[in-house]
Structure 1
């Protein structure tokens, strides 16, 4: 996985996030409590499919030598 430079929009969001405060315009984690039976195999397949299709869900932002960069993890193999 090679580190890639940020786009202009990504660099802006990275810069805004550097002060450590919560940014109301950025997505944040969400927890959901489910009731009833859960088909874990179907849930796993659905999440794998979504992650496979959307590179942004596999991208992390890091800083190397003072410069922000992004790394995209490989897509999971569909089962």
Structure 2
């Protein structure tokens, strides 16, 4: 995904850059949802293999609590700027 976004910067035509960026932005909600589902299914599969929350957290580089949230289908929350 990063490569796709990076490649936009190499396009010489600003109108084409804008069109392609717009298409990606329009698809983001759908693709973001797909990515969350893929991640959740993977965590559920690991749990079905009896992999501990702690080991999953270590492998994915996230907190144990976040693994449990992902498994439950909970989305992360952004803190409000004070």
TM over 0.5, shorter chain: no
TM-score normalised per structure 2: 0.30
Higher-strand-fraction structure: 1
Greater RCO, CA 8 A, separation 6+: 1
Bigger Rg over Cα: 2
Higher-helix-fraction structure: 2
